[in-house]
Amino acid sequence: MVCEGNETDLEIGIPAVMLPQDAGASLEKYIMNGSVVMLALYSPKRPVVDVAEVFLWLMAVGTILCASYWSAWTAREAAIEQDKLLKDASEEYLPAEGTHSGGIVDINMTSAILFVVVASCFLVMLYKLMSRWFIEVLVVLFCIGGVEGLQTCLVALLSCFRCFQNAAESFVKVPFFGAVSYLTLAVCPFCIAFSVIWAVFRQISFAWIGQDILGISLIITVLQIVRVPNLKVGTVLLSCAFLYDIFWVFVSKWWFHESVMIVVARGDRSGEDGIPMLLKIPRMFDPWGGYSIIGFGDIILPGLLVAFSLRYDWLAKKSLRAGYFVWAMTAYGLGLLITYVALNMMDGHGQPALLYIVPFTLGTFLTLGKKRGDLRILWTRGEPERPCPHLELQSPQ
């Protein structure tokens, strides 16, 4: 309430108390049940750094690390198989240029630019339709993606053990799905049950564990399937994501009178603690409670560039010191760390993580590539030039 300085009556005594959403929900529940509620006003100080932020940082960095090694290993195996086919002079069996086996999808320039438009439309739709029923729809979609991600990760992990190799290499035809391995059929019911149990009991205090497991599995699967073919596409994609994050966290306040991104992430007007498309950990030593969160986009989008760096290093046979992966991974970790520093300096007000992550990761990659003389190949081809196996076989011994 604002009063002018020349007002005659300025003695206004209206107490105002700000509570976290979960505390307000608990208070409302007790009042509706007819319980006697007594309040004592106390404003404890929040810790500078909460353990939840440390674990969330480790989860984000570890997820990109695992996804990058899986993506690089797949790319190296595909390159080895292609070289074998070339040496056998079997070009007719080679995949067409620009395609990949195993359902790999390369992002092109058009997709990178359209990202801002599509993501913005989806965010506005979430903002306008935010309600309990719409959250239920998002939960169903998240569970479908989580089942696919968890199943893919478990099958890939179990296939590394000798006792599961026969089941992974034996297939059976399933209607509407085609050839499916016996290992996938065995794992699928567990993944569905895990996802359904989380969806039903997602309101309990430790349900965040199931959400994080499904979310990490989904992120790793996406980073395995979707790839940036070169640094040019990666630069356009991250630059668009950089502007998108800043606009919907800061600039959107001028049009909507509140930060659209923060409102959607918190799940305001939905009766829940937030949308399921994020990783979260409860703040353990914060007297105000709540969760430390990070959106899927803050991991997936920079993770595409980090995974690209490791694929390039392995195909170019670069050591860790001479390669780009260690630098890109370190830059992402520092960018995310600066994000949490800024978050605490702003007293918990939401920050666009890509505002700090993109300059660190992309700037480091571009600077290092220019300094080492690899920028042209990274920018256009995205992979080192490999000698043709035919020429190697014909060269004098």
- Is residue 88 part of the annotated active site? The answer reads no
- Is residue 286 part of the annotated active site? The answer reads no
- List the catalytic residue out of 212, 273, 298, 313: 298
Contacts of residue 51, Cβ cutoff 8 Å, sequence gap at least 6: 284, 285
- List the catalytic residue out of 245, 273, 286, 313: 245
Query: Long-range contacts for 50-54 (Cβ within 8 Å, ≥24 apart)?
Result: 50/283, 50/284, 50/285, 50/286, 50/292, 51/284, 51/285, 52/281, 52/282, 52/283, 52/284, 52/286, 52/291, 52/292, 53/292, 53/340
| Contact criterion met (CB below 8 Å) for 296 and 278 | yes
Give the end-to-end CA distance of the chain in Å, rounded to a whole number: 88
**Can you list the alpha helix ranges (DSSP code H) found in the chain?**
21-32, 51-87, 109-129, 132-158, 162-169, 182-200, 208-225, 231-246, 253-256, 260-266, 297-315, 325-345, 354-372, 375-380, 389-394
Q: Among all residues, which ones are annotated catalytic?
A: 245, 298
